[in-house]
Amino acid sequence: MSLASTSPVPGTSSVPPLGTAGLASLVVLVVGTLALGAVYGPAQGALFLIGGALGVSLYHAAFGFTSAWRVFIAEGRGRGLRVQMLLLALAVLLFFPFLASGTLFGHEVKGNVSPAGIGVIVGAFMFGVGMQLGGGCASGTLFTAGGGNARMLVTLLFFIIGSLLGTIHFDWWLALPSVPPTALWQTFGAAGGIAVSLVIFAAIAGLTVILEKKRRGRLEEEPAPPRQGFERYLRGPWPLVAGAVALVILNFATLAIAGRPWGITSAFALWGAKGAQLIGIDPTQWAYWQMPGNAKALSQSVFADITSVMDFGIIAGAMLAAALAGRFAPSLDIPLRSILAAVVGGLLLGYGARIAYGCNIGAYFSGIASGSLHGYLWAVAAFAGNVIGVRLRPWFFFERSVILKSDG
C-alpha cells in the first residue's frame, strides 16, 4: 500500500479509532436498545437511547452546572449561567403548554412538581456544597465518570450511598413544614407562567452581565473551537448553546415517551437499596420504600426502572463521546485529599438530592421546566451551598485552576 493512500489529506483531520472503550460503548448502546425494547417494550429501549444521546451531548458540550456556578462565584464569569437561563427558557416554552393540557401526542404527561419546604432548602444546600467537593452534579458525575474520570467513580459510589441514607430519614423530612406542590402554569396559566418564567430568567441573565462587567471589565467570549463543521459535532467540543438546545430537546423527548421529565438521582437510591439487600439489610422497613412507586421499583429489575435505564445510557453515551474525542484515558493517580473530597461530596450530593426531591436535573432543570416552585427554591438554596463549597475547595484541591477546567 502506498504512503499516499494512508496519509491524511492536508487541511483535513481524520477521525481517530474508537478503541476498545468506544466500540464497547457503541455495542452497549445498540444491543441495549434492542434488548430493552424486546423485553420491556419499545419505550424503554428508546429511553435508553435518549440517555445515550444525553451522555454524548453533556460530554461534547462539557455542559457542567457545577463549573458554571463555580466560575461565576469565584471569578465573576457568567457565560455558563446565562446559557443555563437559555436552557430553562427554551424548556418552559416547550413544556408548559403540554403540562397545562395534561397530554402530549395523546399520552398523559405530568411535571416534576413537589412540595417546597425545609427539606428542599436543607437538601439543596447540602447538594450545592457537595457539587463543589464532589467535582460535579448528578449529570456531571455520570458523564465525567462515563468519559473516563476515575475520581468521579468514587463520587458516584458515595452519591449512591448518600442517596440510600436519605431514604432512611425521608419521612421525617417530608413531615416538616412546606408549601404544597405548586406550578406556575397552574397559577397563571400556560402563557402567564411562561411570561413570569422568562422575566425571571432574563433578570438573572442581566444580573450576571452587570456583575461580570463590573468585576472583569467585559463579557467572556467562547473560545475558538479546535475543530469546525461536521467534525466538531462528531468529536467535540460543542458550543455551550448547542448543548443547551440538545438537552432541552432530549428532555422533551423524555416527557413525550416516559410521561414525565428527565430525572437522575432516584435511580441512585434504588441502586443503593438493591445493594443493601445483597448484604442483608432490608430497606422495605423504611417509609420511603413502602410508597407504591418505590416499592414496585425495588421489587423489579433495575432495567425496568426508567431513570436507571437512562442513567446507564448517559454513561455509555459519554464513554462513546470521550472515545470519539480521543480523550478516554482513565487514570488512578488521584491525590488522597481529592478522594476525601469525592467521598464527602458524594454523600452530601446523595443525601441532599433525596430530601430535596431531586438534583440539578430533577429539581432544577426539570423542576423549573415544570414550573414547580420547589425548583426555584432548590436553585436559591443550592447556589448558597455552592458559595460555601467554593470556599472549602482550596483545602482539598491545591491546583484550583486545573480543577476549574476539568469538572462537570
Q: What is the DSSP string of 244-282?
A: HHHHHHHHHHHHHHHSS----HHHHHHHHHHHHHHTT--
- In this prediction, residue 402 carries a pLDDT of 37
- Is residue 238 in a domain? yes
| pLDDT interval class at 205 (50, 70, 90) | very high
Residue 130 pLDDT > 60:
yes
pLDDT of residue 160: 97
pLDDT at 403 over 50: no
Tell me the average pLDDT of the chain: 90
Is residue 355 assigned to a domain? yes
Strand partners, 104: 107
Residue 334's Cβ-count burial label (10 Å; 0-12, 13-18, 19+) is middle
Residue 291, domain member (yes or no): yes
Read off the amino acid at residue 351: Y
What angle separates helix 150-168 from helix 265-278, to the nearest 10 degrees?
80
The answer to whether position 3 is within a domain reads no
- For residue 55, is it within any domain? yes
Kindly report which listed range (37-51, 141-155, 286-300) carries the lowest average pLDDT score: 141-155
Q: Determine what percent of the chain is predicted with pLDDT higher than 70.
A: 93
Strand partners, 107: 104
Contact 315, 142 (CB under 8 A): yes
Query: In angstroms, rounded to a whole number, what is the distance separating the alpha carbons of residues 119 and 379?
Result: 13
Is the pLDDT at 80 greater than 60? The verdict is: yes
The number of distinct structural domains making up the chain is: 1
Q: What average pLDDT does this structure show over 195-205?
A: 98
Distance CA 111, CA 102 (A): 9
Residue 406, pLDDT above cutoff 50: no
Region 255-278: what's the mean pLDDT?
Answer: 97
Higher pLDDT, 196 or 327: 196
Domain that holds residue 102: 19-406
Give me 63's grid cell: 455542559
- So what's the pLDDT on residue 4? 35
Measured from the Cβ of residue 344, the count of other Cβ atoms closer than 10 Å reads 19
With cut-offs at 50, 70 and 90, classify the pLDDT of residue 11.
Answer: very low
pLDDT band at 274 (very low <50, low <70, confident <90, very high): very high
Q: What is the mean pLDDT of residues 5-24?
A: 58
103 is a domain residue: yes
The stretch 103-123 carries a mean pLDDT of 95
Give the whole-angstrom CA distance, residue 276 versus residue 288.
14
Q: What's the whole-number mean pLDDT along residues 207-211?
A: 96
Average pLDDT of 242-261?
97
pLDDT for 16 = 54
Region 302-321 average pLDDT: 96
pLDDT interval class at 18 (50, 70, 90): confident
pLDDT of residue 94: 97
More confidently predicted of 330 and 81: 81
The reply to whether 11 falls in a domain is no
Amino acid at 401: S
For residue 2, tell me if it sits in a domain: no
> Alpha-carbon Rg of the chain, whole angstroms?
21
What pLDDT, on the 0 to 100 scale, is given for residue 407? 46
Q: Is the pLDDT of residue 324 over 80?
A: yes
pLDDT at residue 17, rounded to an integer: 66
Q: Which pLDDT belongs to residue 398?
A: 63
